[in-house]
Amino acid sequence: MDKFTTFTGVVAGVDRANIDTDAIIPKEYLKSIKRTGFGAALFSDWRYNNDGSDNPDFVLNKPEFKTAEVLIARNNFGCGSSREHAVWAVAQFGFKVVIAPSEGNIPAFADIFRSNCGKNGLLTIEMTAKQVDEIFQTLEKEPGVKATVDLENQKVTVHAAASDQEYRFDVDPVLKNKLVNGLDDIGLTLQYADDIAAYEATHG
Amino acid sequence: MSKTLFDKIWDAHVVKELGNGEVLLYIDRHLVHEVTSPQAFEGLRLAGRKVRRPDLTFATMDHNVPTDENRMNITDPIAKAQVDALTENAAQTGVTLFPLGDDRQGVIHIIGPEQGIVLPGMTVVCGDSHTATHGAFGSIAFGIGTSEVEHVLATQTLRQKKPKNYKVEFTGKLQKGVTAKDMVLKLIGIIGTAGGTGCAFEFCGEAIRALSMEGRLTICNMAIEGGARAGLVAPDQITFDYVASGNRVYAPKGAELEKAIAEWKKLTTDEGAKFDHELTIDVSDLAPQVTWGTSPGMVTDVTGEVPALDAVPEYSPADVRAALDYMGLEPGMKMTDIQIDTVFVGSCTNGRLEDLREAAAVIKGKKVAKSVRMIIVPGSEAVRYAAEKERLDRVFVDAGAEWRYAGCSMCLAMNPDKLKDKERCASTSNRNFEGRQGKGGRTHLVSPAMAATAAIHGHFVDIRELL
Residues 88-147 of A with CB under 8 A from B: 119
Distance from CA of B129 to the nearest CA of A (A): 19
Tally Cβ neighbours within 10 Å of residue B109: 32
Position B148 scores a pLDDT of 84
B78-129 confidence digits (pLDDT tens): 889 989 999 999 999 999 999 999 999 999 999 999 999 999 999 999 988 8
| Whether A196 and B154 lie within 8 Å, measured CB to CB | no
Q: Which range in A70-79, B42-51, B102-111 is most confidently predicted, on average pLDDT?
A: B102-111
Position B86 scores a pLDDT of 96
**Residue A189 amino acid letter:** T
Sort out which chain A residues have CB atoms less than 8 A from B33's CB and list them. Answer: none
Helix ranges (DSSP H) in chain A: 21-24, 44-47, 85-93, 111-119, 129-141, 173-180, 185-190, 193-202
Summarize the confidence of residues B6-33 as an average pLDDT. Answer: 94
Distance CA B29, CA B11 (A): 17
CB B435 within 8 A of CB B326: no
Distance CA B40, CA B155 (A): 13
Position A114 scores a pLDDT of 81
B308-321 confidence digits (pLDDT tens): 999 998 777 888 99
Distance from CA of A113 to the nearest CA of B (A): 15
| Whether A186 and B49 lie within 8 Å, measured CB to CB | yes
A182-200 confidence digits (pLDDT tens): 888 898 899 999 999 999 9
Position B344 scores a pLDDT of 98
Q: Is B119 exposed, middle or buried (0-12, 13-18, 19+ CB in 10 A)?
A: buried
B263-282 confidence digits (pLDDT tens): 999 999 999 999 999 999 99
Sort out which chain B residues have CB atoms less than 8 A from A31's CB and list them. Answer: 78
| Whether B49 and A196 lie within 8 Å, measured CB to CB | no
Exposure letters B395-407 (e unless 16+ CB within 10 A, then b)? bbeebbbebbbbb
* Residue A31 pLDDT exceeds 70: no
User: How close are the terminal C-alpha atoms of chain A, in Å?
Assistant: 31
Q: How confident is the model at residue A80 (pLDDT cuts 50, 70, 90)?
A: low
Position A78 scores a pLDDT of 84
Eight-state DSSP code of residue B399: H
What value does the mean pLDDT of chain A take?
89
Question: Chain B residue closest to A31 (CA)?
Answer: B78
| Whether B46 and A189 lie within 8 Å, measured CB to CB | no
| Whether B16 and A186 lie within 8 Å, measured CB to CB | no
* Residue A27 pLDDT exceeds 60: no
Q: How many CA atoms lie within 13 A of B351 on its CB side?
A: 37
Pick from B39, B44, B6, B1: which is nearest to B25 by CA? Answer: B6
| Whether A31 and B78 lie within 8 Å, measured CB to CB | yes
Does the CB of A202 have a partner CB in chain B at under 8 Å? Answer: no
Q: How confident is the model at residue A32 (pLDDT cuts 50, 70, 90)?
A: low
Stated as kind and residue range, the H or E segment containing B39 is helix B38-46
Summarize the confidence of residues B243-268 as an average pLDDT. Answer: 97
Q: Smallest Cβ distance to B42: which of A34, A119, A199?
A: A34
Position A29 scores a pLDDT of 67
ipTM: 0.92
**Residue A24 amino acid letter:** I
Sort out which chain A residues have CB atoms less than 8 A from B26's CB and list them. Answer: 196, 199-200, 203
Question: Chain A residue closest to B86 (CA)?
Answer: A33
* Residue A82 pLDDT exceeds 70: no
Summarize the confidence of residues A134-160 as an average pLDDT. Answer: 97
Q: Does this model's pTM top 0.90?
A: no
Pick from B39, B105, B23, B21: which is nearest to B67 by CA? Answer: B105
Sort out which chain A residues have CB atoms less than 8 A from B81's CB and list them. Answer: 33
Every domain range in chain A assigned CATH 3.20.19.10: 7-171
Looking at domain A7-171, its CATH architecture is Alpha-Beta Barrel (3.20)
Q: Smallest Cβ distance to A190: which of B16, B42, B155?
A: B155
| Whether B151 and A196 lie within 8 Å, measured CB to CB | no
| β-strand partners of A103 | A106
Q: How confident is the model at residue B438 (pLDDT cuts 50, 70, 90)?
A: confident
Q: How confident is the model at residue B324 (pLDDT cuts 50, 70, 90)?
A: very high
Distance from CA of B464 to the nearest CA of A (A): 47
Distance CA B257, CA B226 (A): 34
| Whether A196 and B43 lie within 8 Å, measured CB to CB | no
Sort out which chain B residues have CB atoms less than 8 A from A189's CB and list them. Answer: 24, 151, 154-155, 157, 159
What contacts A72, CB < 8 A, 6 or more positions away? A11, A12, A13, A14, A98, A99, A100, A132, A135, A136, A139
